[in-house]
Chain A
Amino acid sequence: MKDFIVIKGLDFYLDSKAILKNINLTIDSRQFISIRGANGCGKTTLSKLIMGIYPYSKGSIKIEDREVSEMSLSEIGRKIGYLFQNPEKQIFTSTVLEELSFIYKYREDIDKSRKEKEIDEILDTFDIRNLKNKSTFFLSQGEKQRVALASVLLNKPKYLILDEPTTGLDYKRKEMLSEILDKYKNKIGVLLISHDYNFVKKHSQKIISLEGGCIVYE
């Protein structure tokens, strides 16, 4: 196990209001960690700070010993896959197949000869083969989420951050997401942000609770 993400003394203010206060956290590369907490406690903010989406001025966030503030979004995206709370934002193309092929078109560091095989595998893993040629406009919330997650995983990130992945999913879809996470359990580490205690308990090796911008339980 290796320290993949190291956060030290992180403070984050938005419009002079403290959102996160003195956050210290170390995440191993294969660890499945969950962050719980009430609405507005700073869970999503913390994940966005790790992803370099928000800039921070006090404290340090390091991914594989590199300071996040010195990395570009694309560099962070190659190391950590991020599933937005609203997966609609990360589906850019008009069909599912185009969406899955997206990175092969624009990433110079990805082996393009493996495209067919890898897409084929991911279609089966996520049970979305029937959606292959479907328009992304007409996907349900659960389908959009699976397509977005499949596209993120085709990036082969070393770690995965899932922001409220169970929101809007019924029991069956949650089970489906559970099965997918189980398949990746020993291959990739996950930081899960969720309100869903049962879902969190089922998968996590470690649960962190945030309250008023501070870690209150680890």
Chain B
Amino acid sequence: MNNTIDPRTKLFLVLCISTIGLISRDVLILFSITIVGIIISKIFGGNFFVLIKRIKKLLYVFFFIIIIQSIFTRQGNPVIVIGGFEIVTDLGLNRALGYMFRVLIIIISGVIISTSSERNTIQGIVQLGLPYEFAFMTAVGIKFLPLLIEEFKDTYMAIQLRGINIMKLPIWERFKITSYIFIPVVASTLNKAKKLSISVESRAFRAYDRRTSITSLKLKYKDYLIILISLTTAFALIYLKWI
């Protein structure tokens, strides 16, 4: 099914999913969208769980933010009270879960888009009427994502090879040391961006105002059906919940 669905349909689907994810405050709706998103990504040939496994280390940072968010939200009814202190409230828990599902929805959106080939994604964005430069940069971003994940893993490993047992550090130090991963990754990303820009310029990128393309995408019956279903569901949810 993966190769037969137009990348524009996938982009539209992602737009609907992420819009609901962004405006919804209801944890149940966010949870449902996450589950539906995982199923859709699987149908399209993506593997959400493989990606989650690969970015496992990065997820610790998200969980840390979730914990902090639930602890520092003071409004609402107490859920966990220790020694008279309200540690977690229902509102805090709600916000933290909402944050977690939103992060998962972003990851799922990436998985859905990445099930199309880089060339087709660019073509899809161009045929949507967006400038080629924008389409090209989006595709490059998607392409570099696995490399970025690899860099995160390598740096995490390099820290341990300095003789530091991260798991034995106190929890605060553990999160602090994780922040060091970003420096080599940012440095390498900047380097890659610099090299890429030199490389595309040397191949006469944007030499002419208009570009021609050998491939042309055409929306099929099932594409229209998917767009219709996602649009109807998104509108129905917005109407029932907020209007």
Contact = CB atoms under 8 A, between A and B. Distances in A.
B166 to A, nearest CB: 8
B167 to A, nearest CB: 8
A194 B163 CA distance: 25
Given A84-B158, A89-B155, A74 B163 contact: yes
Contacts of A74: 160-166
A168 B165 CA distance: 32
Interface in A30-64: 51, 53
B169 interface: yes
Contacts, number: 76
B158 A106 contact: no
Nearest to B169: A106
Nearest to B179: A92
B183 A73 contact: no
B165 A89 contact: no
B187 A137 contact: yes
Contacts of B184: 88-92
Given A72-B165, A136-B183, A137-B187, A90 B160 contact: no
Say what secondary structure dominates the interface of chain A.
Answer: helix
Contact of B177 (A88, A106, A109, A137): A106
B135 interface: no
Nearest to A154: B162
A102 B162 contact: yes
B163 A103 contact: yes
A82 B158 CA distance: 9
**For chain B, which range describes its interface: under 10, 10 to 19, 20 to 34, or 35 or more residues?**
20 to 34
B180 interface: yes
From B158, B169, B188, residue with most partner A Cβ within 10 Å: B158
A76 interface: yes
B157 A73 contact: yes
A39 B163 CA distance: 30
A119 to B, nearest CB: 15
Contacts of B66: none
Nearest to B158: A90
Nearest to B165: A74
Interface in B150-197: 151, 154-155, 157-166, 169, 173, 177, 180-181, 183-184, 187-188, 190-191
Contacts of B159: 92
From A76, A92, A93, residue with most partner B Cβ within 10 Å: A92
Interface of A: 51, 53, 72-78, 82, 84, 88-94, 102-103, 106-107, 109, 136-137, 151-152, 155
